[in-house]
Copies of this chain bind each other. A is one copy, B any other.
Amino acid sequence: MDQPVKVYNTAVEVTLEVIGGKWKPVILFHLTFGKKRNNELLHLIPSITQKMLTQHLRELEDEGIIQRIIYNEVPPKVEYELTEYGWSMKELLHMMCRWGEMHVDKKYQGTAAIRENSRLESAP
């Protein structure tokens, strides 16, 4: 009875609470292409530090967006992957990616670029 109810002003704020912050969308974006290990993510996101990566992975795990898979091996092996629920973010993440591609092409023409073949371009 009378459980505390949090009220958001718009649903956009809800989404931001889950994927807000500097790194979460980037991490999740990479995971939409499949399972990734700690070190893989560090290399895919060169400017992130181990501390920030771990911190955000834990928060995403707590939200039920991703899950850790721990293999009992030596040396240790851990993989991160989207949960079934986490996959519901794929469309949104890819839309963010496509908008960014458009923005670079249109506004930063020649003065900014996107590394490697991480462009979605015509992909779904």
Contact = CB atoms under 8 A, between A and B. Distances in A.
A5 B97 CA distance: 19
Contacts of A119: 11
Contact of A96 (B12, B47, B64): B12
A3 B114 contact: no
Given A64-B107, A107-B64, A100 B12 contact: yes
User: What copy number does this chain have within its complex?
Assistant: 2
Contacts of A89: 99
Contact of A91 (B10, B13, B95, B110): B95
14 contacts: A5-B111, A6-B111, A7-B112, A8-B112, A10-B97, A10-B114, A11-B99, A11-B120, A13-B100, A15-B25, A15-B96, A20-B22, A92-B92, A92-B95
Given A11-B104, A15-B103, 11 more contacts: A3-B111, A5-B110, A6-B111, A7-B113, A8-B115, A10-B29, A10-B118, A11-B114, A11-B120, A13-B26, A16-B25
